[in-house]
Chain A
């Protein structure tokens, strides 16, 4: 490939990238959601009646960062019985990286009728060190 072709390719790529959502975290968050969350919470975040909760306008998702991060790192096993309205247990996701967790939580917070600020990888790291 000549230098000119490389430059043209780079130029086209940058134009195309400008047409797509610019936030790299959104893209990663979507991928993490599809691999680790979608089968239970479904593509539309609607969950499965009786088995897994919907993510729509969720109090937990829109609530304090620390409680949300702890819940996702530790899973639902720590919930008191009266909060167990769903039959399936959510595993802890501490095997995912700080960046993956930050990306997926930010992704979920920006859709499914949720509206809360993004979460940074350093926020995840801080909670992880407390556990």
Chain B
């Protein structure tokens, strides 16, 4: 966290003293050792197993009370868009794997006795029975999301009051008159904000809803809040969005290749109802600790955003790391330091080129029961890339995409490059 961001954060919340144990021990991946067969590195005292491998483009995860792991797929496998995995002998490796589901994509969540999932335009659900694979047909919960190519996935999360929150990404980089064209100005107002680039709230229990007719816009100005989770302890929605791309390619007069690789930040927020997070008019510069005016809207890399309604992030990560999932640690099997904190799966960058690509890790933000950040973020699991430096995303061995906490407190991590799912446990050593 930069000094400015830390100051801003202190002003926003009452920062409690960081516990002695958190300061005295390094809980980052750097304290551990890399295991070549595992493909990743986790902190000392933790253990990871390959729960499943070569599963295809695995994205988000959900774990049922009985330990069944569900995974969604970005593109369909032979027998379906969803996977159910069970580990009958409890050795940390799934021994029964079944594909099912007639449509899908990235979003996946459990709510009551239902498994919710989504394609790019529709959210459906399956009623779960005793068996791992549901037997009935899917019900349609919400349909009518605009068909779009960029930022099209529709992840969902649920609060305790019967609401479902759905991210609807922006169909562009920065709402330019001419998409991704150097110097092209931004549309003002940006019409994409009407039905996209925000988080919408729907009735969690009602089928047959339509985007644009049912539900309400909960928060706006979010380019792609793909990593999103309800924090049941703080009773609030959190997300970390994908910042805009290509500052240097589109505005070479204002940005160097190095600035373009680092900027803008990936912003971690506690969503406020009707909150505005500034896209496409602005972006967060974590090096300056300031929200800046976007170059499509008269900015030059040095001019702060004027609109005081644009909300500052709680903390921020370097540019283009691509947060793909967020989950709060609700278990009690990990050390106290991790309780109520946030894990973030970073898919890893592509547009830091020509500089080496970064991200490709699972980060952790320590938090308290009230959902306030209590210390600096760190990298919890890394070495997913497989090579260092990584020139191109294509060469990465693994790319983290999904996270879920099991009933036994284990953390599951999915990857859509190697199709691997890891189970991470704490074994006290």
User: A interface vs B, CB < 8 Å?
Assistant: 34-36, 38-40, 42-44, 46-52, 54, 75, 77, 84, 86-92, 95
Q: Is the CB of B181 within 8 A of A87?
A: no
Interface members, chain B 139-179 (any A CB < 8 Å) = 149-152, 178-179
Write the chain B residue with the least CB distance to A49. B394
Chain B neighbourhood of A39, CB < 8 A: 245-246, 249, 350-351, 353
The number of residue pairs between A and B whose CB atoms lie closer than 8 Å in the complex comes to 68
When chains A and B are docked, how far (Å) is the Cα of A58 from the Cα of B353?
21
When chains A and B are docked, how far (Å) is the Cα of A95 from the Cα of B151?
26
Interface members, chain B 235-258 (any A CB < 8 Å) = 245-246, 249, 252
Write the chain B residue with the least CB distance to A88. B150
Q: Which residue in B178, B180, B350 is a CB contact (below 8 Å) of A51?
A: B350
Q: Is the CB of A49 within 8 A of B351?
A: no
Q: Is the CB of B393 within 8 A of A89?
A: no
User: B interface vs A, CB < 8 Å?
Assistant: 57, 74, 149-152, 178-183, 245-246, 249, 252, 350-351, 353-354, 391-395, 417
Chain A neighbourhood of B149, CB < 8 A: 84, 86-89
Q: Is the CB of A92 within 8 A of B353?
A: no
Tell me, rounded to whole Å, the shortest Cβ–Cβ distance linking A80 to chain B. 13
Tell me, rounded to whole Å, the shortest Cβ–Cβ distance linking A105 to chain B. 18
Q: Is the CB of A91 within 8 A of B351?
A: no
Chain B neighbourhood of A84, CB < 8 A: 149
Chain A neighbourhood of B392, CB < 8 A: 42-44, 46, 48
Write the chain A residue with the least CB distance to B260. A39
* Known contacts A48-B394, A54-B394, A42 near B353 by CB under 8 Å: yes
Q: A42-B393, A52-B350 are in contact. List 18 more A-B contacts (CB 8 A).
A: A36-B249, A38-B353, A39-B351, A39-B353, A40-B350, A42-B391, A42-B392, A43-B391, A44-B391, A46-B392, A46-B395, A48-B350, A50-B74, A86-B149, A88-B150, A91-B178, A92-B181, A95-B183
Interface secondary structure of B, over-half rule: loop
When chains A and B are docked, how far (Å) is the Cα of A13 from the Cα of B353?
32
When chains A and B are docked, how far (Å) is the Cα of A48 from the Cα of B390?
13
When chains A and B are docked, how far (Å) is the Cα of A47 from the Cα of B149?
16
Chain B neighbourhood of A38, CB < 8 A: 353-354
When chains A and B are docked, how far (Å) is the Cα of A88 from the Cα of B350?
12
* Known contacts A43-B392, A49-B417, A87 near B354 by CB under 8 Å: no
Q: Which residue in B150, B351, B393 is a CB contact (below 8 Å) of A87?
A: B150
Chain B neighbourhood of A46, CB < 8 A: 392, 394-395
Q: Is the CB of B152 within 8 A of A87?
A: yes
Chain A neighbourhood of B245, CB < 8 A: 39
Q: Is the CB of B150 within 8 A of A89?
A: yes
Q: Could you give 23 example pairs across A and B, Cβ below 8 Å? A: A35-B249, A36-B182, A38-B353, A38-B354, A39-B246, A39-B249, A40-B351, A42-B394, A43-B353, A44-B391, A46-B394, A49-B417, A52-B350, A75-B179, A77-B179, A84-B149, A87-B150, A87-B152, A89-B150, A91-B179, A92-B181, A95-B181, A95-B183
Chain B neighbourhood of A42, CB < 8 A: 350, 353, 391-394
What are the 6 A-B residue pairs with the smallest beta carbon separation, nearest first?
Answer: A48-B350, A91-B180, A42-B392, A46-B394, A91-B181, A39-B351
Tell me, rounded to whole Å, the shortest Cβ–Cβ distance linking B158 to chain A. 27
Q: Is the CB of A49 within 8 A of B393?
A: yes
When chains A and B are docked, how far (Å) is the Cα of A90 from the Cα of B178?
11
Chain A neighbourhood of B393, CB < 8 A: 42, 48-49
Tell me, rounded to whole Å, the shortest Cβ–Cβ distance linking A46 to chain B. 5
Chain A neighbourhood of B179, CB < 8 A: 75, 77, 89, 91
